[in-house]
Structure 1
């Protein structure tokens, strides 16, 4: 039987003790206190009661901070996830995790879609889900209503921009970085991600095969990437470094150097066209990102291997559906194959 007693003029305190479970809560009316007590006792008797105390006293900000301390340091994507956690704390931080419902997440989704792109919102919703799962599975914080579900935005179509040889040459010629052009060429010959190129060490290079042995990849799966003659020549031209790495530049520096070279190449192109009284092409050197080189490399190598399984073993894609987002064959080339 629940114990209900009045606290002052405006509150009713109720305590339920049943089958070694003790729960307490305070209400503003006796009617609400009695209703809560009956509900808790019924659930305890049926063996389905889940305590809300810890979930109601723990805020989203609390679990984000704990996730940042205990989980994030051992993850590969810790830098972007750290930024996403700050956004989640700003938007939802004051709410107790027990209050996070599907409706709350749907509102969060819709508001964020007005501020950022679909893919960013998908990443943020995925992170919220992982944080709540960690609460339940690893930290023993029960969510009475379970982990809330929410419909994620439809994934945007993958980029299909393929830089031409002329554009690539223009960027390589315009850069003031001693390493950017070599990094770009290695990427085009191997399909390696920016981070994978920067992490390369001489011990990862096996010229007897020849291949690159990758151990620290984005999806944590080791793989061997065959080397073309051009890639071998580039690697052999690199100076030896005391730290054993092929390149000294940092990943973010690669992106910044690429953007600066792109701007300089565009200006140089426009100036040259105008000097010759020609109209510059609007799409030349436009809408290009460093990661587009991986798309281009994947599409180029796809023409040389016999099937998508071989291609995936080179690119490191586990999902062929994702691989299709990187493989962009030119329709004229497909037409030639059809005869």
Structure 2
């Protein structure tokens, strides 16, 4: 049966400790701020024991989501072809306050709050990818690591945001000049990152994962002269090689060589945050870093490349997928009609 007692808690405040002793089951103990919370928990545990369906929550009650993410990255992510991209998503989830909570207490309510926080920083499609990864983390924990989740897979209790496939935001007027001016004031690598994204149509995660040895050309300092970049890990899982414009080469020429071999010393989350700050300083609204990929892809069409050529650079799988990225302005097509 359950027994309750008070004890000093953090900061000297009183907390309630409940213990459950029942023959044939391990002794259970847990501490709560309120006696009513302790009584509800004890009633649930005793009911499960009486019905013979009790499963120990010890591991779930002593493992944080952050620790679970670390284990998943070590044991599962490393076996995947898109490991670099997934590690980036796991890193962003791990930086959210939800990662500090014990997995036994993570419910749909906590993950809905996480969803709302992330939507202030990332697109709906990015959030849905994070939720998909998080759902698989909980599935692996339950099915392969045999960690009892009191609430089941809590991601299934969270509604998914609708992905707006009609987004067609492009740079307008002097926005590029304003962006670059604000980026120069902001400092760091955000200026080169903006130009690079527009010149290459690369995704944010692909840019963050770039390495100097991905450039096709002579090794050492001469690799700056290479005109082709290998992207070994992509969102679609298919590696691709893209040509580099003279403007893209100028960006590389202005970057220092890092000891870790990476071209840019940033992660995906820091790119988004820096870009948001630069847009705010430049007085630009409704523009995300991913919109630069829309801009870059549309510019490729405006230069006269055909869909197959554009797809080879951008990595889009089908022409249907490319339609939402072209958004060619009628004024720019007049000269091509004669």
What TM-score, normalized by structure 1, do the two folds share?
0.59
Verify: 1:83 aligned to 2:95, yes or no: yes
- Partner residue in 1 for 2:257: 241
Q: Secondary structure at the match of 2:242?
A: strand
**Aligned pair in 2 of structure 1 residues 240, 136: CA closer, same or farther (>3 Å)?**
closer
What is the Cα deviation at residue 260 of structure 1? 5.4
- Partner residue in 2 for 1:71: 72
Task: Check whether the contact 2:241–2:313 (CA below 8 A) recurs between aligned residues.
Answer: yes
- Partner residue in 1 for 2:180: 172
What is the Cα deviation at residue 310 of structure 1? 4.4
- Partner residue in 2 for 1:212: 229
Task: Check whether the contact 1:240–1:246 (CA below 8 A) recurs between aligned residues.
Answer: no
Match of 1:53 among 52, 55, 68: 55
Match of 1:135 among 131, 134, 141: 141
What TM-score, normalized by structure 2, do the two folds share?
0.59
Verify: 1:228 aligned to 2:227, yes or no: no
Q: Secondary structure at the match of 2:95?
A: helix
What is the Cα deviation at residue 162 of structure 1? 0.7
Question: Take 1:64 and 1:160, find their aligned partners in 2: how far apart are those partners?
Answer: 36
What is the Cα deviation at residue 224 of structure 1? 0.6
Task: Check whether the contact 1:161–1:292 (CA below 8 A) recurs between aligned residues.
Answer: yes
Verify: 1:62 aligned to 2:63, yes or no: yes
Match of 1:152 among 137, 159, 165: 159
Deviation per residue, 1:28-60 (Å, 9 max, x gap): 79xx94xx36xxxxxxxxxxxxx7524x44436
What is the Cα deviation at residue 314 of structure 1? 2.0
Question: Take 1:261 and 1:178, find their aligned partners in 2: how far apart are those partners?
Answer: 11
What is the Cα deviation at residue 71 of structure 1? 1.8
Question: Take 1:112 and 1:143, find their aligned partners in 2: how far apart are those partners?
Answer: 19
Q: Secondary structure at the match of 2:241?
A: strand
What is the Cα deviation at residue 129 of structure 1? 1.7
**Aligned pair in 2 of structure 1 residues 113, 135: CA closer, same or farther (>3 Å)?**
closer
Question: Take 1:218 and 1:69, find their aligned partners in 2: how far apart are those partners?
Answer: 22
Deviation per residue, 1:211-238 (Å, 9 max, x gap): 2112254566422112234434554x43
Structure 1: tracts of 5 or more residues without a match: 1-5, 17-24, 38-50, 267-284
The structure with the larger Rg is 1
Task: Check whether the contact 1:52–1:143 (CA below 8 A) recurs between aligned residues.
Answer: no
